[in-house]
Chains A and B, each alone.
Chain A
Amino acid sequence: MNTKISAYAHPEVLVDADWLLEHLNDPNVRVVESNEDLLLYDMGHIPGAVHIDWRRDLNDQTVRDYVGPEGFAALCERNGIGPETTVVFYGDKSNWWACYAFWVFQLFGHSNAKVLDGGRDKWEEEGRPLTREVVAYPAVTYPVPAERNDAAHRAYYQQALEHMQAGKKMVDVRSPKEFSGETTHMPEYPQEGVLRGGHIPGAKSCPWARAANTDKTFKTREELEAIYAGELGLGVEDDIVAYCRIGERSSHTWFVLKYLLGYKQVRNYDGSWTEWGNMVRSPIEKSF
Chain B
Amino acid sequence: MAYPAPLQELIDLFEYLPEAERRESLINYADASKSCGPKEGEVFDLEDVRKDEECTDTVGVFLRAEEGDRAHFAIELGPKVQTLTKAMTAILCRSLNGAPMKEVLEVPADFVPRIIGAELVRLRSQTVYYVLSRMKTAVKMLLDRRRAAEGG
Contact = CB atoms under 8 A, between A and B. Distances in A.
Q: Are A and B a genuine interacting pair, yes or no? A: yes
Interface of A: 36-40, 42-43, 55-56, 187-190, 192-193
Contacts, number: 46
B123 A43 contact: no
27 contacts: A36-B82, A37-B83, A37-B84, A38-B82, A38-B83, A38-B84, A38-B122, A39-B27, A39-B84, A39-B87, A39-B120, A40-B82, A40-B83, A42-B23, A42-B24, A42-B83, A43-B27, A43-B30, A43-B31, A43-B83, A55-B122, A188-B53, A188-B54, A188-B56, A189-B54, A192-B124, A193-B123
Nearest to A36: B124
Interface string B109-143: 00000000001101111100000000000000000
Size class of the B contact interface (CB-based, 8 Å): 20 to 34
Nearest to B124: A36
Given A43-B27, A43-B30, A43-B83, A38 B53 contact: no
B26 interface: yes
Nearest to B82: A37
Given A38-B125, A188-B54, 17 more contacts: A36-B82, A37-B82, A37-B84, A38-B82, A38-B84, A38-B120, A39-B26, A39-B27, A39-B30, A39-B82, A39-B83, A39-B120, A42-B24, A43-B27, A56-B119, A187-B53, A190-B126
B10 interface: no
Nearest to A55: B122
B46 interface: no
A55 B124 CA distance: 12
The 5 closest A-B pairs by CB, nearest first: A39-B83, A190-B126, A37-B82, A42-B27, A188-B56
Of A42, A56, A187, the most chain B CB neighbours within 10 A belong to A42
B54 to A, nearest CB: 7
Contacts of A193: 123
B99 interface: no
B124 A189 contact: yes
A192 B123 CA distance: 7
Interface in B1-36: 23-24, 26-27, 30-31
